[in-house]
């Protein structure tokens, strides 16, 4: 494997450095990643300053509180209907005569602030709607702290065409772990990447035993506290399949050299095996503070960003092979990642629709992957070398969502007949 060109995420490179405080834009500020990032910023005011926030618009009170505490200049919401409530919430927090931040609204608002003047953009948006802000940040030359894996997965060639080597710093715990472990050696010395998975709440169950699991059971993750979509994706291991595609795109490692192992304790976040037989693992107790700090502060480390292990206490770390029969999602993800073009977008969009149907009680747990597989199969194989555009991605997603809804509704009707 050649050491040139450098991959999208390269710990040996820093796309831009800055003296003093680092100016940040946080996208998805009211979500899990966003709120934790803001907590990190508030604990490190000498290191970071937030200039703009964006959110969907459903939690205007929280967004206004964040804007006031951080004294940002711009706040963006995707929902134009949330502007009135946001402005009212801001006025309640700002003093008389104190200027309110600029408010941007609409589907392009996040992309607009992603391209604004700053050092680093943290994309903490959930779902493929994060693609446009990702592209905007890269085009503007910002360092991209990427928690929105979907934007890279569905728009891989588009992202790779815009990103300078090392411009992306991953924020997923697994990819932040790989990023740090890769700093220990050259790309040509990497034998394989080992991505760890907790196994979710249903580790050890057979496919038959998964048939009747409930929404509440799927949302009860044993080691991580996340939003509902990501939590269900962790239960089906779709999230791990997406991370395999992401690792391939970030680090330019072939799919046959990216392995998934189950590690229930979620202490080791991922590993890199080198050609001399050495394996480097990155480990902390389950907490997103560390990956977020890597994304915002690299190449510097932020003291006490995450809890450390107490090595004076005994603990057990276990590793198991992946059960591909009960959890076929990783294999399907490898397949669509190898196909490329619009196939990953179809996979991701169909899954998002099926997760929504499951959470609404309209699709059984096993029906999620059964339906996604059917949609991917129906989509077929893209022609080799077919160029990809944003319009292609959106068209493929629209079709996949509609087809997934149709198949989900059919399955529900048949189950009730």
Mean pLDDT score, 188-203: 94
Q: Percentage of residues in the chain with pLDDT exceeding 90?
A: 83
CB 355 within 8 A of CB 232: yes
Q: Percentage of residues in the chain with pLDDT exceeding 70?
A: 97
pLDDT tens-digit map of 318-369: 999 999 999 999 999 999 999 999 999 999 999 999 999 999 999 999 999 9
**What confidence score (pLDDT) does residue 3 get?**
45
Banded model confidence at residue 384, pLDDT cuts 50, 70, 90: confident
How confident is the prediction for the chain on average, in pLDDT? 93
CB 124 within 8 A of CB 143: no
Provide the annotated binding site for Mn(2+).
172, 174, 243
**Residue carrying structure tokens 């700090």:** 293
Which residues have C-beta within 8 Å of that of residue 37, sequence separation ≥ 6? 24, 26, 29, 122, 124, 292, 296
CB 51 within 8 A of CB 83: no
**What confidence score (pLDDT) does residue 166 get?**
92
Domains plus CATH for the chain? 188-283+321-416 (1.10.1740.10)
- State yes or no: pLDDT of 1 exceeds 70: no
**What confidence score (pLDDT) does residue 304 get?**
95
Mean pLDDT score, 237-246: 95
pLDDT tens-digit map of 271-320: 999 999 999 999 999 999 999 999 999 999 999 999 999 999 999 999 99
Helix (H, G, I), strand (E, B) or coil at 154: helix
Measured between alpha carbons, how far apart are the two ends of the chain, in Å?
56
Task: Name the DSSP letter for residue 316.
Answer: -
**What confidence score (pLDDT) does residue 4 get?**
47
Angle at 218 between CA 198 and CA 235, to 5 degrees: 35
- State yes or no: pLDDT of 5 exceeds 70: no
Provide the annotated binding site for NADPH.
30-33, 56, 148, 150, 227
DSSP β-bridge partners for residue 271: 194, 281
- State yes or no: pLDDT of 17 exceeds 50: yes
Banded model confidence at residue 2, pLDDT cuts 50, 70, 90: very low
**What confidence score (pLDDT) does residue 221 get?**
75
Banded model confidence at residue 229, pLDDT cuts 50, 70, 90: confident
Query: Of the given ranges (63-77, 135-149, 184-198, 373-387), which has the lowest mean pLDDT?
Result: 373-387
Mean pLDDT score, 16-28: 84
Taking the whole predicted model, whether its pTM rises above 0.85 is answered as: yes
Provide the annotated binding site for 1-deoxy-D-xylulose 5-phosphate.
149, 173-174, 198, 221, 234, 239-240, 243
- State yes or no: pLDDT of 226 exceeds 80: no
CB 260 within 8 A of CB 195: yes
Percent composition of the chain: helix, strand, coil (DSSP 3-state, to 5): 45, 15, 40
CA dist 387 → 59, 249, 375 (Å): 38, 17, 22
Task: Name the DSSP letter for residue 315.
Answer: -
Banded model confidence at residue 18, pLDDT cuts 50, 70, 90: low
Which residues have C-beta within 8 Å of that of residue 318, sequence separation ≥ 6? 263, 264, 265
Provide the annotated binding site.
30-33, 56, 148-150, 172-174, 198, 221, 227, 234, 239-240, 243
CB 403 within 8 A of CB 361: no
Mean pLDDT score, 41-64: 97
- Judged on CB neighbours under 10 Å (0-12, 13-18, 19+), 207 is middle
**What confidence score (pLDDT) does residue 98 get?**
87
């Amino acid at each position: 494997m050649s050491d040139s060109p450098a991959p999208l995420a390269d710990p040996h490179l820093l796309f831009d450095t800055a003296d003093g405080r680092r100016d940040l834009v946080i996208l998805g500020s009211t979500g899990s990643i966003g709120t934790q990032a803001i907590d990190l910023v508030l604990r490190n005011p000498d290191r970071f300053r937030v200039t703009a926030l964006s959110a969907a618009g459903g939690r205007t009170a929280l967004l206004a509180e964040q804007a006031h505490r951080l004294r940002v200049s711009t706040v963006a919401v995707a929902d134009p209907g949330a502007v009135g409530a946001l402005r009212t919430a801001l006025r309640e927090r700002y003093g008389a005569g104190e200027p309110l931040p600029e408010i941007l609204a609409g589907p392009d608002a996040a992309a607009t602030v992603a391209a604004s003047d700053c050092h680093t953009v943290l994309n903490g948006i959930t779902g493929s709607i994060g693609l446009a802000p990702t592209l905007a940040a890269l085009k503007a030359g910002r360092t991209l702290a990427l928690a929105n894996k979907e934007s890279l997965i569905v728009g891989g060639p588009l992202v790779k065409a815009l990103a300078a080597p090392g411009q992306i710093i991953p924020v997923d715990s697994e990819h932040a772990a790989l990023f740090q472990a890769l700093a220990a050696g050259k790309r040509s010395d990497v034998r394989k990447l080992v991505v760890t998975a907790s196994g979710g709440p249903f580790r050890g169950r057979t496919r038959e035993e998964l048939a009747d699991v409930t929404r509440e059971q799927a949302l009860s993750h044993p080691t991580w506290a996340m939003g509902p979509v990501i939590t269900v994706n962790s239960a089906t291991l779709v999230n791990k399949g997406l991370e395999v595609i992401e690792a391939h795109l970030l680090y330019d490692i072939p799919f046959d050299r990216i392995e998934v192992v189950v590690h229930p304790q979620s202490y080791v976040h991922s590993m890199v095996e080198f050609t001399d037989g050495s394996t480097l693992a990155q480990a902390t107790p389950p907490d997103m503070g560390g990956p977020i700090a890597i994304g915002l502060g690299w190449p510097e480390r932020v003291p006490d960003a995450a809890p450390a292990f107490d090595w004076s206490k005994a603990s057990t770390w276990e590793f198991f092979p992946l059960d591909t029969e009960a959890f076929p999602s990783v294999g399907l993800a490898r397949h669509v990642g190898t196909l490329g073009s619009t196939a990953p977008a179809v996979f991701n969009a169909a899954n998002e629709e099926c997760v929504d149907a499951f959470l609404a009680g309209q699709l059984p747990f096993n029906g999620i992957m059964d339906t996604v597989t059917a949609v991917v199969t129906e989509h077929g194989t893209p022609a080799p070398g077919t160029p990809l555009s944003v319009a292609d991605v959106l068209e493929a997603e629209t079709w996949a969502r509609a087809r997934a809804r149709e198949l989900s509704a059919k399955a529900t009707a048949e189950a009730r007949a």
